[in-house]
Structure 1
Amino acid sequence: MNDSLDPYVANINELAWNRRPQHRYRCSGQSETAALGRVKCSNGSIQYKAYCLECGGRGANFPYSQIEGLDEDRIPFITEHDIIPCERCGSAEGSEVHHWAPSYLFEDSHDWPKSYLCRACHLEWHSIVTPKMSSHRRAA
């Protein structure tokens, strides 16, 4: 997460704005420390996110390239999602959260609606509606 001696914690203000945890309503917002946590998605994949140690609010995913070499046993699971059927085709193979407002474009993306789509439907949606999103995301 950072270049300090402990790669599992960071000062929230030193993180890229979209990776900073979104504080929850019960949080004082005074905590300056974030830790690295794992989220087990309903499709079985693992995402790595910074989370606020006070309220548990999470930020956007870290690329796997930034996680390589870290000790998995030191990164706690902060959420495990149940298997939710795809809202489009009904597949029970596990779904992904489709964010209607990507966090790299909208600071209030956590307030926007979300849908649950299987991987195939999610990829199809993005190939039709936002075909250039991947290249924009990497550049952001």
Structure 2
Amino acid sequence: MNTMPSNEMLSIGELSQRTGASVRSIRHYDEHGLLASVRASNGYRIFPAKALTQVRQIQRMIASGFTIDDIRGFPDCMLLIDGARSCDQITDVQRQRLEAIDRQIADLEKRRSRLIKTLSEGAVPPVE
């Protein structure tokens, strides 16, 4: 992985290209306070080198089921260290997210079972 001086700035396009995040996603993260951009003389957003790590961490957290609002409540260390381990402060949030996912899975399994029954019996079963 190429490293860059900590004082070097990235355009939104460069940040997108180097992280794989869309420009739209990066704007969204910035608008919600997860990144800190400044405006260049041409009015375009530019980002410090640390934004590479921040965007990657945000992507990891979103892929684990966290929302932007969840991430905004996480300690800064979670965004500033590439591959940072979970902090004790977010364990409860992680457990709550896991419980929500488990409820969604249970609901989907019930729906799947109802659909299988409908297909095999030819009629929609009553709601239990």
Q: What is the TM-score of this pair, normalised by structure 2?
A: 0.30
Bigger strand share: 1
**Greater gyration radius:** 2
Task: Specify which structure has the higher proportion of helix.
Answer: 2
